[in-house]
């Protein structure tokens, strides 16, 4: 007989987390066991260079509720999450990081809210003393900007620690774009949503794998995925700089007349070159760069390359029950 699918799926991407992955599975199991629901823990091994995959094989041999999806290389945090979301089988799915900075002790409360009828339970970080004040300020500015551009309600403590019902998850996975910005899409799909706040615990081992360039790419993905307002801002900026250029031309022409009358003429063509090069040239380069960001994303979509490639998988193919 085929075993029924689990009620709860916990999906966590892991990259070079050999020091903490066993503790993570232990803490998640400890939080879910008293609830009485069947569950599975799906770890997406995201092309780790350490012994994370070996650890997962050993954990899988000890506990059949622990599964892993090993990707052929690192497909990024969002790619790892999408891989787990498409492979898991639960009626309710919880995504979180495997470094234990998303506290498993919050899982029972998230399940309780789901049982009350909420289909999406978001989580929000409180003030995190482990990151700099400048970083916290930039987070707030970024999410307020993204909220204004997209029309979505996003906060500075937004995370990918989230519960979704199967209905809400299926709606999210139906979104056709390949480069999914999950924080924005989770808000965009609607459904009945609520949120919880939590304090970020220190990492028990290892260090963060997100550097400045990763954060920058992640932030730009959010902005360009949900708004064309930067293109409109560029049009407005072009008008403003054109007006400033016109004023500069008038000023330069007056200066040219003055220097001619005083007997110290300027080099021929000076004011026209200064106005054209320093103003219009800058606007054009800015516009080309901005258009390039959107065109590059269109190019990535039309290539239709897979979001991730699986090397090893202990879960049955989607839609097929386990033996």
Instruction: Write the pLDDT tens digit of every residue in 39-51.
Output: 899 999 988 888 8
Most confident of the following: 97-101, 186-190, 238-242: 97-101
* Mean pLDDT score, 292-299: 68
* Mean pLDDT score, 58-79: 87
Q: Is residue 289's pLDDT more than 80? A: no
Residue 323: per-residue pLDDT: 42
Q: For CA atoms 157, 161, 165, 168, give the dihedral sign.
A: positive
Q: Could you identify the residue written with the tokens 């799915």?
A: 93
Q: Is residue 129's pLDDT more than 80? A: no
DSSP track, 259-289: HHHHT-PPPTTHHHHHHIIIIIHHHHHHHHH
Residue 113: per-residue pLDDT: 92
CA distance 48 to 89: 24
State percent of the chain over pLDDT 90.
Answer: 11
Q: Is residue 281's pLDDT more than 50? A: yes
Q: Could you identify the residue written with the tokens 């760069």?
A: 289
User: pLDDT band for position 155 (50/70/90)?
Assistant: low
Q: Is residue 29's pLDDT more than 70? A: yes
Alpha-helix runs per DSSP H in 33-106: 52-62, 76-87
Residue 226: per-residue pLDDT: 57
The bridge status of strand 8-14 relative to strand 162-165 is unpaired
Name all contacts of 125-131 with Cβ < 8 Å and 24+ positions apart.
Answer: 125/157, 125/159, 125/197, 125/198, 125/199, 125/200, 126/157, 126/197, 126/198, 126/199, 126/200, 128/199, 128/200, 130/200, 130/202
Distances, alpha carbon 71 to alpha carbons 50, 76, 306, in Å: 14, 11, 12
pTM passes above 0.75: no
What is the average pLDDT score of the chain?
A: 75
Point out the least confidently predicted range of 53-62, 94-103, 124-133, 218-227.
218-227
CA distance 60 to 62: 5
Residue 322: per-residue pLDDT: 44
Residues 138-153: pLDDT tens digits? 666 655 665 555 555 6
Residues 194-233: pLDDT tens digits? 888 888 777 666 555 555 555 556 555 555 565 556 666 6
Q: Which residues contact 155 (CB under 8 A, 6 or more apart)?
A: 124, 143
Most confident of the following: 100-109, 175-184, 190-199, 282-291: 100-109
Residue closest to 159 by CA, chosen among 237, 78, 87, 229:
78
Most confident of the following: 2-6, 27-31, 143-147: 27-31
Q: What is the distance between the terminal CA atoms of the chain, rounded to a whole angstrom?
A: 7
Q: Is residue 193's pLDDT more than 60? A: yes
Q: Is residue 316's pLDDT more than 70? A: yes
CA distance 170 to 93: 11
Residue 151: per-residue pLDDT: 56
Residue 186: per-residue pLDDT: 80
Strand partners, 312: 70
Q: Could you identify the residue written with the tokens 């063509």?
A: 269
DSSP track, 193-213: EEEEEEPPPPPSSS-----HH
Instruction: Please state the length of the chain.
Output: 323
> Do 16 and 49 meet the contact criterion of CB atoms below 8 Å apart?
yes
Q: Which residues contact 59 (CB under 8 A, 6 or more apart)?
A: 21, 22, 25, 66
Helix (DSSP H) and strand (DSSP E) numbers for the chain: 11, 8
Greater confidence (289 vs 104) lies with: 104
* Mean pLDDT score, 269-285: 64
Residue 42: per-residue pLDDT: 92
Residue 256: per-residue pLDDT: 62
Point out the least confidently predicted range of 89-98, 133-142, 177-186.
133-142
State percent of the chain over pLDDT 70.
Answer: 58
Residue 240: per-residue pLDDT: 73
């Amino acid at each position: 007989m085929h075993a029924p699918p689990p009620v709860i799926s916990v999906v966590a991407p892991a990259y070079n987390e050999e020091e903490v992955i066993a503790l993570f599975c232990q803490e998640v199991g400890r939080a879910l066991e008293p609830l009485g629901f069947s569950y599975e823990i799906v770890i997406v091994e995201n092309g780790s260079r350490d012994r994370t995959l070996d650890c997962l094989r050993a954990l899988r041999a000890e506990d059949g509720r622990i599964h892993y999806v090993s990707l052929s290389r690192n497909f990024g945090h969002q790619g790892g999450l999408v891989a787990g979301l498409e492979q898991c089988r639960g009626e309710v799915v919880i995504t979180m990081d495997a470094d234990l900075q998303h506290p498993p002790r919050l899982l029972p409360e998230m399940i309780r809210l789901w049982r009350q009828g909420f289909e999406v339970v978001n989580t929000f970080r409180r003030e995190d003393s482990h990151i700099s004040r400048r970083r916290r300020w930039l987070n707030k500015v970024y999410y307020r900007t993204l909220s204004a551009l997209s029309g979505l309600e996003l906060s500075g403590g937004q995370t990918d620690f989230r519960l979704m019902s199967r209905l809400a998850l299926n709606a999210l996975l139906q979104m056709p774009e390949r480069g999914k910005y999950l924080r924005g899409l989770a808000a965009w799909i609607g459904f009945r949503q609520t949120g919880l706040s939590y304090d970020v615990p220190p990492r028990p081992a290892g260090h963060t794998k997100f550097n400045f360039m990763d954060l920058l790419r992640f932030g730009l993905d959010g902005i360009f995925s949900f708004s064309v307002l930067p293109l409109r801002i560029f049009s407005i900026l072009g008008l403003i700089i054109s007006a400033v250029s016109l004023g500069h031309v008038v000023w330069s022409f007056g200066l040219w007349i003055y220097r001619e009358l005083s007997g110290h003429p300027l080099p021929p063509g000076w004011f026209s070159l200064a106005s054209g090069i320093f103003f219009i040239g800058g606007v054009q380069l800015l516009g080309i760069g901005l258009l390039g960001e959107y065109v590059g994303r269109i190019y990535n979509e039309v290539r239709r390359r897979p979001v991730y490639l699986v090397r090893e998988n202990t879960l049955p193919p989607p839609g097929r029950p386990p033996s």
